[in-house]
């Protein structure tokens, strides 16, 4: 029987293709957010951006596929780690109370074993790259395990999330070159400010519950100053991407494409309503289109030299 939670009260709904999966694996698919790919896209795009910029011609499609698989499984592992760390908090928040761990569908021990399985799959992916990329990708696990606990002691956990989610900008570059150069660092820190923007918007969905349970976020720290902060975060995002493109010696059309990506971020700032959770979720999800726009920009910049 299909299990559904009350509308507008939870972000976990057993429906669609998830409902057609065997009951045994259904909670694990929900646990790794397999039904909500936006997180995978946000993790994947930085890999693809720098894979494209580092490539002498068109990017290696096999590498691009490996990054897609890796982003899917490692985003899943990160979600499991996050839910393990937050299992006591999640049970007190309406949007997260029916997640598999707080509602008892998956025990903490089962979740740990599942996370280990996902990490092994991720290891299988990075073993396909050069040794430097293997070590570099493995180093990101430290951030993956630190991030879920940051919201307990700082109002800026989104900084750690940005450092974690954009690690692929370093890995994408090193997969081609075997090192990390200035353009990759520019895209990495551009991604950090991008994440500060979109995840602050996302965090505004939970700010009332976060206050009640004692969780911190940039949404609470910035409050009504969120929109001015978004101008700063997204402005730095575009500036650093532009610098990265210049250092990577892209063609002039790169900057035309960058202008279009900037327009999208400006649209987000103008459109966002931090007092409307549905609006915040819509704006957050729109960052998938920013990712595609920037990927197209990187491609155009490389092929029009």
In tens, the pLDDT along 72-124 reads: 999 999 999 999 988 877 766 666 777 888 888 899 999 999 999 999 999 99
In degrees, rounded to 5, the angle at the alpha carbon of residue 133 between the alpha carbons of residues 144 and 158 is: 25
Residue ranges of domains in the chain, CATH in brackets: 16-303 (1.10.357.140)
Tokens of 61: 């499609």
In tens, the pLDDT along 43-70 reads: 999 999 999 999 998 999 999 999 999 9
| Pairwise CA distance, residues 211 & 256, whole Å | 43
Q: Taking all residues of the chain, what is their mean pLDDT, rounded to a whole number? A: 91
User: Do the Cβ atoms of 207 and 277 come closer than 8 Å?
Assistant: no
Q: Is residue 116 classed as helix, strand or coil in its secondary structure?
A: helix
Q: Per-residue pLDDT for 38 more than 80?
A: yes
């Amino acid at each position: 029987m299909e299990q559904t939670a009350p509308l507008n009260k939870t972000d976990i709904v057993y429906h669609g293709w998830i409902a057609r999966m065997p009951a045994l694996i259904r909670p694990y698919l929900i646990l790794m957010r397999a039904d909500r790919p936006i997180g995978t896209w946000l993790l994947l795009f930085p890999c693809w951006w720098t894979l494209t910029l580092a490539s002498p011609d068109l990017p290696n499609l096999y590498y691009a596929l490996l990054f897609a698989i890796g982003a899917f499984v490692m985003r899943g592992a990160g979600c499991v780690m996050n839910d393990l760390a937050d299992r006591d908090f999640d049970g007190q928040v309406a949007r997260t109370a029916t997640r598999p761990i707080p509602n008892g569908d998956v025990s903490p021990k089962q979740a740990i074993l599942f996370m280990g399985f996902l990490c092994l799959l991720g290891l299988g992916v990075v073993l396909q790259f050069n040794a430097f990329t293997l070590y570099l990708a493995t180093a990101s696990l430290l951030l993956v395990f630190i991030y879920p606990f940051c919201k307990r002691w700082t109002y800026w956990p989104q900084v750690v999330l940005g450092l974690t989610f954009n690690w692929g900008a370093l890995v994408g570059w090193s997969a081609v070159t075997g090192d990390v150069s200035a353009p990759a660092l520019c895209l990495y820190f551009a991604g950090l400010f991008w994440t500060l923007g979109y995840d602050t918007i996302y965090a505004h969905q939970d700010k009332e519950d976060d206050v009640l349970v004692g969780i911190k976020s940039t949404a609470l720290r910035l409050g009504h100053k969120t929109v001015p902060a978004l101008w700063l975060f997204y402005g730095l995002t575009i500036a650093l991407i532009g610098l990265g493109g210049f250092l990577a010696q892209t063609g002039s059309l790169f900057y035309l494409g960058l202008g279009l990506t900037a327009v999208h971020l400006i649209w987000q700032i103008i459109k966002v309503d931090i007092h409307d959770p549905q609006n915040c979720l819509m704006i957050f999800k729109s960052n998938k289109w920013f990712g595609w726009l920037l990927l197209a920009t990187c491609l155009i910049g490389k092929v029009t030299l």
